[in-house]
Structure 1
Amino acid sequence: MTNRFDNKVVVVTGGTSGIGLATAKAFSAEGASVFITGRRQEALDEAVKTIGGRVTAIRGDMSRLADVDRLYDTVQQKHGQIDVVFANAGGGEFAPLGAITEEHYERTFDTNVKGVLFTAQKALPLLKDGGSVVLTSSTTSISGTPGFSVYSASKAAVRNFARNWILDLKDRHIRVNAVSPGVTETAGLNELFGGGDQAQGTKDYLAGLIPAGRIGQPDEIARAVLFLASDEASFVNGIELFVDGGQVQI
């Protein structure tokens, strides 16, 4: 393990489980002071134990601007600047065209688009020049999935934030990139697929469609995020990095 993020300040939204938790843990292991968010205090407390090191948990829903403000107020009480923002909080559920409700649309876009937008924008006063923003998109940004159009559209919007924000932030030399995981072993995925044997059957089926022959692990996505956030990616800007075992390339 290197110390690429020694004395760096990193914000990870949605850091209590899955990809967010794995990434927060990886940042901490490489020396960062990590701030995570989550909606449930019990999950936050458990995540702090799992992550270890210098980690601070802030309860909040990133689709609510007051909660985003509280996040950055907490950071500012301890640090003068932020080096990395990983705008990861998000979620989705199936609803085919014909069954999409206004509530479904608003919940998905508030979490995945509004939340990411204001997580990044409200970080700007603290985000150092030359810092890094990484956004969580999805392979669904370019690949169709039955019953998943609202989620997919929200992730396409996130991917396009990266394209545009690199122009808005170029004078500050802040890099913005998107990581797009494929099917990844998380509690959220199991819940989405109905849990138990049903979820396992769906995962087995999807694994057969992936050239790598399996679904991904959160640690594999975390390593990609750390690369994008690090100085090793100093000339990488505005990209969508697929971490999907090759699924969307065929």
Structure 2
Amino acid sequence: MNRFEGKRVLITGGTSGMGLAGAKMIVAEGGEVAVTGTSQDHLDEAGEALPSGSLVLRNDASDPEAAKELGAKVKEQMGGIDGLWLNAGFGKFGPNKKVDKDMFRGMTDVNVMGPFLQMAELIPAINDGGSVVVTASVSPYLGQPMGAVYASTKGAIRAASRSWASDLAERNIRVNSIAPGPIETNFFDGMGLDEEQVEEMSEQIKSQVPLGRFGNSEEAAQVALFLLSDQASYVTGSEYMVDGGMTLR
């Protein structure tokens, strides 16, 4: 199956986890990819994992100027793109009484402002008939006691994706979102938990998932790639849960 033959796809946050898994699959199906990230280790990993000719770009979604730089680089080096996966983001959890401006701004800048500004810069580069996928989360549906800020940012970007879907429909550009649940790769990064806390939280989360396990990066990426491909040619403004049934409970 070569769903991406002759197509060019940009994945923000594409140097690790779901993004990198998706980039590898797109290349395997005949496409060209550009991925962004901030960690040098992840940039190096992506550079080794992807074939020569793939673009591996350092880009910080929290930096307002970086969106303009990304737009310029994509237009210069790729021309038009057929797919855009806005996947850059992170989560940090903690008691609501300890939320401060740094925690709020940190997640809001990356999870909300970043995709908004990137989308504004990249809309002209998306070819008519293209597709956009936004990584949201199941968090807004769960009411997690320590996840108010993260859930708010993911709820905001889900709302934005529906607006973008309406706005870009006249160009036959589809916009959808995926809402991952617990995905094993990097799930606990940045939470500030020790090994014992990670183990305890892992078991607690698994007990809430009907399928009884964490998902993996490839499983989440497959859903995003379906939405990016022409197989989803009549799907726009939708959100696909990738959560093992977690939101059923």
TM-score if structure 1 supplies the norm length? Answer: 0.94
Q: Does 1:241 align with 2:240?
A: yes
> Gapped runs of 5+ residues in structure 1?
none
Q: Which 4+ stretches in 1 moved above 4 angstroms?
A: none
SS in 2 for 1:216: coil
Alpha-carbon deviations, 1:112-147, whole Å to 9, x = none?
000111121211111011111100000012221111
2:120 and 2:73 map into 1 onto residues whose CA distance is 16
2:132 touches 2:174 (CA, 8 Å); kept in 1? yes
1:169 aligned counterpart, secondary structure: helix
Matches of residues 126-165 of structure 1 in structure 2 within 5 Å? 126-165=125-164
Q: Residues of 2 paired with 1:19 and 1:62: CA distance?
A: 17
Give, in whole Å, the separation in 1 of the partners of 2:46 and 2:97: 38
The equivalent residue for 2:71 is 72
User: 1:50–1:201: structure 2 CA closer, same or farther, 3 Å change rule?
Assistant: farther
Question: Is 2:171 the partner of 1:176?
Answer: no
In 1, Cα distance between equivalents of 2:88 and 2:227: 18
In the TM superposition, what is the alpha-carbon distance from 1:86 to its structure 2 partner? 0.3
**Which letter does structure 2 place at the counterpart of 1:81?**
G
Local SS of the residue matching 1:133: strand
Of all paired residues, the percent bearing the same amino acid is: 38
CA displacement, residues 62-113 of structure 1 (integer Å, 9 cap, x when unaligned)? 1223222222222222332010110000012113222110111111111000
Deviates more, 1:18-27 or 1:218-227: 18-27
Secondary structure (helix, strand or coil) at the match of 1:142 reads helix
Query: Does the 8 A contact of 1:28 with 1:53 survive in 2?
Result: no
2:70·2:118 contact (CA, 8 Å) conserved in 1?
no
| Residue 201 of structure 1 pairs with residue 208 of structure 2 | no
Contact 2:165 2:236 in 1 (8 A): yes
Q: Secondary structure at the match of 1:106?
A: helix
Any idea what SS the aligned residue of 2:123 has?
A: coil
What is the distance in 2 between the residues matched to 1:91 and 1:190?
8
RMSD (Å), alpha carbons: 1.5
Aligned partner of residue 147 in structure 1, secondary structure: coil
Flag the 1:201–1:50 CA change in 2: closer, same or farther, 3 A: farther
- Aligned partners of 1:245, 1:52: CA distance in 2, in Å? 32
What CA distance in whole angstroms lies between the structure 1 residues aligned with 2:105 and 2:226? 33
Distance 1:32 1:193 in 2: 37
Q: Which amino acid aligns with 2:169?
A: K
Give the Cα–Cα distance (whole angstroms) in 1 for the partners of residues 10 and 131 of structure 2. Answer: 11
Measured against aligned partners, the alpha-carbon deviations of 1:174-223 in whole angstroms (never above 9, x if no partner) come to 11000000001012425526253431332122112111111110100000
Distance in 1, Cα, partners of 2:62 & 2:167: 22
Counterpart residue number, 1:222: 221
Q: CA deviation at 1:163?
A: 1.5
Distance change in 2, residues 1:232/1:171 (3 Å): same
Alignment partner, residue 119 of structure 1: 118
Q: What residue is the counterpart of 1:63 in the other structure?
A: 62
Partner of 2:100: 101
Instruction: Give the corresponding residue for 2:39.
Output: 40
Q: Which residue of 2 aligns with 1:29?
A: 28
Question: Counterpart of 1:23 in structure 2: which amino acid?
Answer: G
Aligned amino acid, residue 115 of structure 1: G
Gaps of 5+ in 2: none
Kept after mapping to 2: 8 A contact 1:179/1:240: yes
> Which residue does 1:49 correspond to in 2?
48
Deviation at 1:29, TM superposition (A): 1.6
CA contact (8 A) 1:181 1:244 kept: yes
Aligned residues, how many? 249
- 1:42 Cα offset (Å): 3.1
1:195–1:220 CA distance, 2 compared to 1 (3 A)? farther
